[in-house]
Chain A
Amino acid sequence: MRLIIKDLCHRYDDLVVLEGIDLTVREGEVLAVIGPSGCGKSTLLGIAGGIVAPTSGTIETAGAVPDGCLNPVTFIFQDFALLPWRSVEDNLALVLEHHPLPAAERRERIEAGLRRMGLWDFRKALPKQLSGGMRQRVGIARALAVRPAMLLLDEPLSALDAQTRELLMEDFLALWQRERTTALYVTHNLDEALRLADRVVVLSRRPGRLREIVTIEEPRDQRLQPSAQAHLAEVRDRLWHLIRAEAQLADREIANA
Chain B
Amino acid sequence: MPDTSLPVTPAQPVRFRGGGFTVRTHRWAALLAFAVLIAVWESTNRFGLVSPLFLPPPSAVAKALGAMVADGSLWQHLKASLMRIGVGWAMGTVCGMAVGFAMGIGSVARAVGVPLVSAFFPIPKIALLPLFILWFGIGEPSKFATIGFGVFFPTVIATYSAIDSVPRNLIRMAQSFGLPWASILRKIVLPGALPGILAGFRITASIALILVVAAEMIGAEYGIGAFVLTAGNLMLTDQLLAGVLVLSLLGLAIGTVLSILERRLLKWR
Where the two chains meet, the residues of A that have a C-beta atom closer than 8 Å to any C-beta of B are 49-51, 70-71, 74-75, 77, 79, 81, 83-86, 94-95, 97-98, 126-128, 146
* Stretch with Cβ within 8 A of A (4 or more), from B63-71, B119-127, B168-176, B235-243: B168-176
Known: A71-B178, A74-B177, A84-B269. 20 other contacts (CB 8 A): A49-B176, A51-B172, A51-B175, A71-B176, A71-B177, A74-B176, A75-B176, A77-B173, A79-B169, A81-B172, A83-B188, A84-B268, A85-B191, A94-B179, A95-B177, A98-B179, A98-B180, A126-B267, A128-B269, A146-B177
Which residues from chain A contact B191 at a C-beta distance below 8 Å? 83, 85
Partner of A51 from B170, B176, B192, B194 at Cβ < 8 Å: B176
In the assembled complex, the CB of A71 is this many whole angstroms from the nearest CB of chain B, namely 6
Closest 8 CB pairs of A and B: A81-B173, A85-B268, A95-B177, A75-B176, A84-B268, A85-B191, A81-B169, A126-B268
Where the two chains meet, the residues of B that have a C-beta atom closer than 8 Å to any C-beta of A are 169-170, 172-180, 183, 187-188, 191-192, 194, 266-269
Which residues from chain A contact B178 at a C-beta distance below 8 Å? 70-71, 98
A75 to B176, CA, bound (A): 7
Interface centre among A77, A81, A126, A128 (most CB of B within 10 A): A81
Sample (23) of A-B pairs whose CB atoms are under 8 Å apart: A49-B176, A51-B176, A70-B178, A71-B176, A74-B177, A77-B169, A81-B169, A83-B170, A83-B187, A83-B188, A83-B191, A84-B268, A85-B194, A86-B268, A94-B174, A94-B177, A95-B179, A97-B183, A97-B187, A98-B179, A98-B180, A126-B267, A146-B177
A83 to B269, CA, bound (A): 11
Task: Report the nearest B residue to A146, measured CB to CB.
Answer: B177
Interface centre among B169, B170, B178, B183 (most CB of A within 10 A): B178
Which residues from chain A contact B192 at a C-beta distance below 8 Å? 85
A70 to B176, CA, bound (A): 12
In the assembled complex, the CB of B261 is this many whole angstroms from the nearest CB of chain A, namely 14
Which residues from chain B contact A94 at a C-beta distance below 8 Å? 174, 177, 179, 187
A44 to B177, CA, bound (A): 18
Which residues from chain A contact B177 at a C-beta distance below 8 Å? 71, 74, 94-95, 146
In the assembled complex, the CB of B229 is this many whole angstroms from the nearest CB of chain A, namely 44
Which residues from chain A contact B194 at a C-beta distance below 8 Å? 85
A126 to B267, CA, bound (A): 9
In the assembled complex, the CB of A89 is this many whole angstroms from the nearest CB of chain B, namely 14
Are A98 and B183 in touch, CB under 8 angstroms?
yes
A126 to B266, CA, bound (A): 12
A146 to B179, CA, bound (A): 12
In the assembled complex, the CB of B265 is this many whole angstroms from the nearest CB of chain A, namely 9
A70 to B177, CA, bound (A): 9
A75 to B269, CA, bound (A): 25
A98 to B184, CA, bound (A): 10
Which residues from chain A contact B175 at a C-beta distance below 8 Å? 51
